[in-house]
Every structure is written in C-alpha cells, then in structure tokens.
Chain A
Amino acid sequence: MARMKFYCDAERCIECNGCVTACKNENEVPWGVNRRRVVTIKDGEPGERSLSVACMHCSDAPCAAVCPVDCFYTTDDGIVLHDKDTCIGCGYCFYACPFGAPQFPSSVAFASRGKMDKCTFCAGGPEETHSADEYTRYGANRIAEGKLPLCAEMCSTKALLAGDADVLSDIYRKRVINRGASVLNWGVQYKKAGIDG
C-alpha cells in the first residue's frame, strides 16, 4: 500500500513561495489560513536554506492522538484528514503538531477559534468526492483524479516532492548519489570537503 509523503529538498528550494500560492489558489483557502509556508533558516547568512512545510501526514499523528472529539482519520494512502462537522475548534491539534500545520480562521466571535483547517494532500475531505460541499470546506480533491498535490507539481526546482514514500526516497537517494559524484557537488566547490583524495 502506498504511503503518501511530502519531501522538501533543502539544496533545491529557492524560496519562491510558488507552493504556497499554488495551494491557496487550488484550494481557495480563506484569508489568514496558510496550509503551507516556506521557512528560511539563516536568511542572508552563510548556510541559508529554505524549506517548504505543511501537514506531514504523520504515521502516528499527534493531532489525532490529542483530539478530544476524535475527528481525524487516515486514508488508505496514509493521508491524515479530519472531519469539520465533528471538529469543535479547541486548538489542541495546534498545540500538539510540531510543524504548525493546523490553522484556524479567526472570523468567529469573542476571538474563539473556528473549525480547524489544514493541508489535505489535495485529497478533499469526508464529503462526497468532487462535490461542491467538499470543495468549499476542504478544497480540491486531486488525489481522486489521480493527480498529486499541486504545491509539489508546481515546484519549479522540484525541491518539493509529493507521492509514495518509496518513490520519493528513491528519487532523493539518486539525488544524493549524483551530488556526491558530480563536478558541481559541494565537495569540489568547497575544496573537496569531506571527500578523500
């Protein structure tokens, strides 16, 4: 059984925020909600790297573990989704998630949290597939169309990969091997750092 994963290659991400824009556009997410964001570490310093992050669709998802109403479920593809009918907007998933994936629209009275919104791996939600209800509440269901999440599909440098974990790890392994052998690899560029001879 395929297990869907995101992988972001820090050596390739150029912080173009194309994935963020693609996600917002494809899923029509409300104002103030960002299912995906690009974070730059050491911005403007040596060793600057950027990574795109969203829900990582954990195997043992902390959000699902702490949810007081048990509104999370994992699809056969290993995608972690939640039911907005059941969600009460308590924010516990937000405390538990290490990636800051759960988002809350702040349009509710008394600064109360609305129902949680997060990356669905472009797999819609529990509503009927491709129904208007599914689209307005959860966004696109590209998985049902046999397509991968748009953020990764749009990535210009193919830094952000989405798909079956085995395929992704194969791609990444090949990248690492090729970087090690290439005249353009970091070792040669930085005077053979870490490479003997």
Chain B
Amino acid sequence: MTGIKDKKSARMRKAVYCCVLSLLFVLVAPLIPYVIDAHAEDVTSSKANKPVALQHPGINLWNDVRQRNEVTQGSSQVIGVDSGILINKTGEDWRRFRMQMLMPYGAYFMAATITTIVLFFLLRGKLRLPGGRSGELLCRFSLNQRTAHWFAVGVFWLLGITGLILLYGRFVLIPLLGADGFSITASACKEMHNLIGPLFLLAVLALLVLYIKDNFFNRDDITWITKGGGMFGGHVSAGRFNAGEKTWFWLVMIFGFLLCITGLVLDFSVFGQGREIMALSHVIHGISALILITVSFGHIYLGTIGVEGTLEGMTTGYVDASWAKSHHDFWYEEMSATVEEQQGIKKDVASSSTKPASSPAGD
C-alpha cells in the first residue's frame, strides 16, 4: 500500500513541478528579450554615450512659422489671401519705412524746398520782363493743353492734400481737431483719395499725349542746365520748353505713372494681392507722391510769382512776345517765322489783358 502511495505521490509531485515550471516559463519567456535588450543598450550607451542623431519632428516648426529659410505657406480652413501665413515679417519693414523714413524725410524735403523758394524770392524777387510788355501776343497753349493741365492740377492737388492729411494728420491735425473731428476728415480724405485716384491716370495720359511733342531733350538743354537756367552765366536760349520744364514733364510722367499703377493696386484690393505687394506699392506710391509734390512747389513758384508773364500762358493761352523773347527765344523765332500766316501773333491794340478776337488754329 505504501509503495503504491509513494509511487502515486511521486508522480503527483512531478506533475506539479512540471506545471509550475511551465507556468514560470510562460511568464518569464516574454521578458527574456527585454533583459537582453536592456543589456545590449547598456553596452551601447557605455560605449558611445551619444544621442541618436534623430531630430524632434517639430524642430523646424518655428523656422517655418517665422519664414526664416523660405516662405512657407501653411494651410488653413479659413479661406483668404495669406491666411496660411502665420507670421509675415514684411509688415515691420513697412512700418519702419512709413514711420521712420517716409514721414520725417518727406517733411524735411518739403520744408527745405519751401524754405529755398522763399529765400530765393526774398533775394532775387520777381523776375520782371526786360523792357516791359510789348503788347504783342503769342499763342502758347491750346485750349486742349490748358484743359488737360488744369484738370491734372485739380486732380493732383485733391489727391495730394488728401494724401498728405492721411500721412501727417495724426500728428498735425489731431491736436487741432480732436480724435473724432479728425476721424471724419480722414474718412472723407480716404474716400475721396480712393474715388478720385483713378482719374489721375486720365490726367497723366492726357498730359503725355498733348505735351510730349516739345518735351524731348536736345543739345541746347545741356547749355541751359550748365548755366543753371540763366541763374549763372547770363542769358540762355530755349525752345518751346526749356530743360527745367522738360525735366518736370518727365518727372510727372515717370512718377505719375508709378503713382497710378501702385494706386490702382492699393485701391482695388479684390484681386488677391497680398500684404507684400500692397506694402511695396505703398512705398513706391509714397516716395513718388512726395517727389512730385515737392517739385511742384518749384513749378508753381516759377509759373506764378516767380516769373512775370508766365501764368497768363496757362490761363488765357497767350503770352507776351517780350516774355517769349527773353525765356524761349528759339520758340519766339519759330513763331515769328509763321507771322505772315497770322496764326500765332496777334496785335493787341487795346490792352494786353483783353483776349484776341479770333482764336488761333491751334485751339
């Protein structure tokens, strides 16, 4: 009995051991790779002790956001121009240009020009006609030319004044009008500037067509420029337009067209132009406008109080012959050559202010 019992209990013990061992194996076996792996990792880290050269996947995020390497366009559910751009640094450049360059230098430039003109006027006074008026009248500007000129003048100054108010009003007019008063003024200026702006293109085109003929530079202009337009070195000869007038014409053409193109880009913001293009347009627009405004001070001075007998050419269309002889002698000779045809010269019997009876063919 005991023998059988012993045999049975021995078999049971074996079975239990087997069960325990196999259970242990099942439990431990999955851990073996971890032990080996840990050991292997210990070995590698003690050997090299270097981090794996694998970058954090988000490492270039802020470079992309700040557009450091290239312009990175992200995507957004919000549909709009530039809506995929998180940070656009060009705005800061534009801010620096407008606040630290355009405004102060523009003001200095205009103030310096006005001061120079005032000083010049005080020193030299009005340039009188030598030998007084002759009473003989020459047709200088046709009705079309005068209309185009005064149309351009009107549009230019409406735009110029509204533009200058938008540029300097915050510092000049807010202290005078108060924030609310200036807001109404500025709002009217903005709307007027935007609505009248496109007309300036018409004005510049009209000036181009009607005035380009006599505005090409020639050899006489070099002498005119070297003699400072008669300021140094005595009398200078000139054709219908002298080098100064031609320069003004080409300045109006170059900066006028730049103003029109950039103005249209800024005015009609519905063609998907982004901030960069609009800020760049504004830079060109501001510089061009201040150049034209500043040079126009000189043009206005010479056309009105600076030189006697000039303004009537643009108002009535006729100038006195002695004015033509002294400022535009080549043109006077040309006009005199046609005197027989009675096209340009009219005897003004009564007084120089009365308009001639019949208009010349040029009208």
Contacts and interface: CB of A to CB of B under 8 A. Distances in A.
A102 B172 CA distance: 26
Interface in A69-92: 69-71, 85-92
A47 to B, nearest CB: 4
Interface string B43-59: 00100011111111111
Contacts of B74: 39-43
A28 interface: no
Given A38-B77, A186-B57, A86 B183 contact: yes
B169 to A, nearest CB: 6
Interface residues of B, number: 59
Interface residues of A, number: 54
Contact of B61 (A47, A190, A191): A47
Nearest to A106: B270
A96 B190 CA distance: 18
B288 to A, nearest CB: 17
Nearest to B52: A191
Given A96-B92, A100-B88, A68 B167 contact: yes
A193 interface: yes
A94 B278 CA distance: 10
Contact of B52 (A10, A20, A192): A192
B182 interface: yes
Nearest to A49: B61
A65 B92 CA distance: 10
B10 to A, nearest CB: 49
B170 A65 contact: no
Interface of B: 45, 49-61, 64-65, 72, 74-78, 80, 82-89, 91-92, 94-95, 98-99, 166-167, 169-170, 174, 179-180, 182-183, 186-187, 190-191, 194-195, 268-270, 275, 278-279, 282
Given A49-B61, A70-B174, 20 more contacts: A34-B80, A37-B76, A37-B83, A39-B75, A39-B86, A41-B74, A43-B74, A47-B57, A68-B186, A69-B182, A90-B186, A94-B275, A96-B91, A96-B94, A98-B91, A190-B57, A193-B53, A194-B56, A196-B49, A197-B45
